Amino acid sequence: MSTPSGFRRVLAVGASAAAILAFTALPSAEAATVQWAPAATATIHPGTQMFTAGAQCTANFVYSDGVTTYVGYAAHCAGTGAATDTNGCTTQSLPLGTPVTFNTGANLVSEGTQVGTGTLAYSSWLAMQQAGETNADTCAYNDLALVKVDSAYVGSVNPSVPFWGGPLAPTTQGTTLGSSVYSYGNSLLRGGIELLSPKRGVSLGDDAGGWTHTVYTVTPGIPGDSGSGFMDATGHALGVLSTVALAPLAGSNGVGDLAKELAYANSHGLSGVTLVPGTEAFSPII
């Protein structure tokens, strides 16, 4: 990505069939052994700003394989192509092991404060290219990357989404037209105004065999919100903010399906990585 946002732009969302992939529940060993930081004081959590070679994105959720703690964002956040390069099977990316920093308070005036470091541990784009993936929907919408949190900062992590609470385990049911969705973006373009970060909206329906969900929120996702997580009406993790679209509704966003993306990760380089549920209850009341 050549811009600070790491955000992709598309003209429309296509449709074709794709297989439904299963999701594995969080291992009980992880819940029993990791002591998460309190949600009120944690500095690394869903919604934290993440910087990769100057490109800023937003963390979606926290993940674990029972040993390693990861924070997710979009694979295109580490991409090296243009903002319009959306095919993860052909667009180049920074390599695994690339340093990533976690920051708070960065905006157009201030660089903010670094609160942690990590390394790129998984990229769906790199995984698809290595596997020779040819499914057009998978190439277009599989947009998940996981950053391994450096051990010195694991104690600063909490898996809860600010403002909303949650998430619960990823849904495999997709969304229906008009169903509610919830997110928390943290673009530096918002000027540090936290009231603009929580976003509530509706789904415009699923596409590409369930690989993507078109959503419309107030306010819409903007460059820098890329990678942020979406939850459905019940607080279950839905997906990862990937695109801003001009159709079917200007200002709508494309959200990659997390259950499919995580299943792909666990069959292409990772093993047993699952989403960590939030310690705070999901509360969709504004």
CA 121 to chain centre: 14
pLDDT digits (tens, 9 = 90+) for 152-165: 999 999 999 999 99
CB 268 within 8 A of CB 131: yes
Percent of the chain with pLDDT over 70: 86
Residue 1 belongs to a domain: no
Range of the domain at 31: 8-275
> Average pLDDT of 237-251?
80
Using CA atoms, how far apart are residues 190 and 167, in angstroms rounded to an integer?
24
- In degrees rounded to 5, what are phi and psi of residue 29? -60, -35
pLDDT of residue 29: 41
Which range among 6-10, 119-123, 142-146, 219-223 shows the weakest confidence by mean pLDDT?
6-10
Residue 2 lies in a domain: no
Confidence of residue 33 (pLDDT cuts 50, 70, 90): low
CA dihedral in degrees (106, 110, 115, 121; nearest 10)? 50
Say if 3 falls within a structural domain: no
pLDDT of 25 above 50: no
Q: Is residue 281 part of a domain?
A: no
**% of the chain residues with pLDDT over 90:** 76
**Phi, psi torsion values for 117, nearest 5 degrees:** -135, 160
Report the sign of the C-alpha dihedral through residues 231, 88, 196, 246, in that order.
negative
Considering the domain boundaries, does residue 267 fall inside one? yes
User: CA angle, corner 120, sides to 115 and 126, nearest 5?
Assistant: 155
Distance separating alpha carbons of residues 82 and 93, to the nearest angstrom: 11
Residue 246 has what pLDDT?
59
Q: Lowest mean pLDDT of 122-126, 188-192, 244-248, name the range.
A: 244-248
Number of domains the chain is built from: 1
Domain harbouring 92, CATH code? 2.40.10.120
pLDDT band of 244, cuts 50, 70, 90: confident
Asked whether residue 190 is domain-assigned, the answer is: yes
pLDDT of residue 89 exceeding 60, the answer is yes
The residue written with tokens 């999701």 in the block is 23
pLDDT at 4: 38
- Which pLDDT score is estimated for 149? 98
Q: Is residue 282 part of a domain?
A: no
Could you tell me if residue 93 is inside a domain?
Answer: yes
Q: Is the pLDDT of residue 232 over 70?
A: yes
pLDDT of 250: 67
276 has a pLDDT exceeding 60: yes
Q: What is the CA radius of gyration of the chain?
A: 17
